[in-house]
Structure 1
Amino acid sequence: MKRDEEAAAVYESMLNLNSKNAQTWFSLLQVYFAKQEYDKVISIADRAIEATEDNLIFHFYKGVTYELMESFPKALTTHKNTLTLFK
């Protein structure tokens, strides 16, 4: 098993113990962002948003990830929604 896969497994285990830990969610998201596994990043961001009650960083990464996927309408919608949440 590669180190990034090992790290992801550890982060998932940690989240099973405390799903509200934003730092662990962010670390898990970073593993897949670095690997450019963007569908996984979106999935993690969605789970993190739900678990951490709309933490800004996860909305931001979700929007940026849609941009990298060239899903510009989804990116724009995500960024607009983020702005309305955090005015």
Structure 2
Amino acid sequence: HRFKLNADPRKWLPGQSVTVSQTVTLPAGISSGNYEVLLHLADPMASLHDRPEYAIQLANNNVWEANTGFNRLGHILTIERHARSH
């Protein structure tokens, strides 16, 4: 599942810590389970957007997925769906 964030990485400066805080609405039919949280800072140009070599790679160690262009944030989101009682 992908969510567009309001953060603008063009304003992130070298050596600066950045916190991205945003509320997202999960799809109604999302399955229970654990979901890894990744950050994809793709090139905004349509012809380059899906090419991993044009995505922004964070400087953190062990986060970059070269084959996808995603940055692994080291967080797991757990979804638990409970049956509704009437």
TM-score above 0.5, yes or no = no
Larger strand percent: 2
Larger helix percent: 1
Q: Which has the larger radius of gyration?
A: 2
- Higher relative CO (Cα under 8 Å, sequence separation at least 6) belongs to 2
